[in-house]
Amino acid sequence: MAEDLYSKIIANPVAKTLLLPPSFVYGGIGFVRMKAYAEGLMTRVRPRVPVISVGNLSVGGTGKTPVTIDITRRLTADGKKIAILSRGYKRKSTDEYTVVSNGEQILSSCAEAGDEPFMMAQALPQTVVISGKDRSSTSAIASDTFNCDLIVLDDGFQHLKLRRDFDVVLLDYSETLDDALVPAGRLREPFSALGRATHIVISKVPPYPDPQRMRRFQELAEKYAPRAQVSMCRFRPASLRRMDGRDDMSFSQISGQKVVALCGIARPSAFADSLSQLGVEVVSLHAFPDHHWFSEGELNNLKSVLQKSGATHIVTTEKDLVRLDLPVELKEKVVALAMETEWIGSPPEFKFPVISTGNE
């Protein structure tokens, strides 16, 4: 698993040192790319509607998707018609782009869309959702075809081609603040990249955060993004969705039960921690790489584990639920733990400017 790999690298000074040279190369390529956009050597596209990007500095697992959903839901409540543009990582369609939802109904399968766009389309039925690698192209579809008046980029901080009006950057409270660039660490960009952020969100803040650690986050923001709005949030269990479509299961119904845990996410330990909050006994944890498409053999093994362990349910994540293809008799045993964003203080606020059209 990627999480275990990075944890081992960070904990092993020898391994980390050996991987520093490729990290410097990675950082150098990123710097050249950034300068090329800054100097106008690479063209940036300005959509005709405002753009909010939600992203991070590290590889996966900071909570971008629930924050994207929460921000979009709040803006929709204010009367805005919104399009979410996602890369659709590991989607199986070879089409240049896929319209996942037109804001009225879902138009594609999870395989065509990618798991996160499909999940967001389910969670936000009034939102246009489009998957596609070139988000400068999909932004034109959002504004011109669907007449959206606001675009939200999912995982868009490093997508420099598309100009944006707001950059929301998530920093995971549990992350090391002395990390290196990939592959020697988890960082996609150095902390100095926070200078592009208009909003910084410290995510996964525990109920009793360490004051010294919170000061370090404050110092990072003051050093690199002194004008950015800083917010804090955590993610809490919201519901248990049944795979077979029945009403949600209550937490009391599963508390004290034996369960098999299944996930294909960036940081499975966070999922395990959430299950422990429910008071369940995890008899077996099956963790796969992020966005993993489960094979028939893996699902058959899961069925065998469920029968032999005496577990009452298989508990998975919302993102994994949309990728599961299970027989009817097993579906009734599967529930997905849905998480929601809890803001500590005020959530990010946005003041929208008038946007000009054309390329810059």
Residue 353 in any domain: the answer is: no
Both 206 and 240 in one domain: the answer is no
Strand pairing class (150-154; 199-203): unpaired
Do 32 and 175 share a domain, yes or no? yes
Buried b (16+ CB within 10 A) or exposed e, 7-45: eebbeeeeebeebeeebeebbeebeeebeeeeeeeeeeb
Indicate whether 169 and 200 sit together in one domain: yes
Q: Which of 118, 130, 126 is CA-nearest to residue 156?
A: 130
Domain that holds residue 312: 236-342
| 118/124 Cα distance (integer angstroms) | 10
Of the candidates 134, 26, 142, the one whose C-alpha atom is nearest the C-alpha of residue 83 is: 142
Question: Do β-strands 128-132 and 97-102 pair in parallel, antiparallel, or remain unpaired?
Answer: antiparallel
In this structure, the number of other CB atoms found within 10 A of the CB of residue 326 comes to 18
Q: Please give the pLDDT value at position 358.
A: 41
Instruction: Give the mean model confidence (pLDDT) for residues 277-306.
Output: 92
Q: Does residue 241 share a domain with residue 126?
A: no
Q: Do the Cβ atoms of 306 and 331 come closer than 8 Å? A: no
Judgement on whether residues 154 and 258 belong to the same structural domain of the protein: no
Q: What is the pLDDT of residues 207-220, one digit of tens each?
A: 999 999 999 999 99
Q: Looking at the structure, do residues 311 and 205 belong to the same domain, yes or no?
A: no
- Let me know whether 143 and 274 are in one domain: no
List the end-to-end C-alpha distance of the chain, in Å, as a whole number: 41
Q: Are residues 109 and 150 in the same domain?
A: yes
Residue 167 shares a structural domain with residue 65: yes
Q: What is the pLDDT of residues 79-124, one digit of tens each?
A: 999 999 999 999 999 999 999 999 999 999 999 999 999 999 999 9
Tell me if 347 is assigned to some domain: no
Helix H or strand E encompassing 150: strand 150-154
Are 19 and 156 contained in the same domain?
Answer: yes
Same domain, 152 and 190: yes
| Residue 73 belongs to domain with CATH number | 3.40.50
Number of domains in the chain: 2
Pair (240, 221) in one structural domain: no
pTM over 0.85: yes
pLDDT digits (tens, 9 = 90+) for 147-198: 999 999 999 999 999 999 999 999 999 887 767 888 888 899 999 999 999 9
- Residue 44's identity, in one-letter code, is R
Residue 25 lies in a domain: yes
